[in-house]
Amino acid sequence: MKRGYLVFVSDEEYVVAVVATSSKEAKKLAIKNDIYDLFCDCDFTEIKVKWQKEGKVEDLPIGVVEDAIKALERNIYGYIDGFDCPVCGNETILSNINGKVMCSECEDKLEDKTEP
């Protein structure tokens, strides 16, 4: 069964979204496809894996999810920083709000519209 995982070095802030059938496979895929050189200077035991239980990955291929927005849409990432909001265009921190990727400012505007 495919699952979404976060793979990271224990003392670093950057993570990689991976679709795999096990945490061991996720770790191997992240190391093999280390496009950001996150894992080049660390020991295998320093690399940690966290299963994202809310991840919706059934139709994604096994491997590293290189599109951060897609990983956020699929609930592998909880948030991403430094991307343009698809709603307002501002570069900011984005979250998945009820299935829609947006920044907190757009979320506030959406809430204002829905409140009586």
Let me know whether 5 and 55 are in one domain: yes
Q: Which residue has the higher pLDDT, 113 or 27?
A: 27
Let me know whether 90 and 36 are in one domain: no
Let me know whether 62 and 86 are in one domain: no
d(CA 15, CA 72): 12
pTM for this one? 0.86
What average pLDDT does this structure show over 48-71?
A: 96
Q: How many CB atoms lie within 10 A of CB 94?
A: 27
Q: Which two tokens mark 106?
A: 């757009």
Let me know whether 22 and 62 are in one domain: yes
Provide the pLDDT confidence category of residue 114 given band limits of 50, 70 and 90.
low
Identify the domain containing residue 64 by its residue range: 1-76
Residues 25, 3: contact at Cβ < 8 Å?
A: no
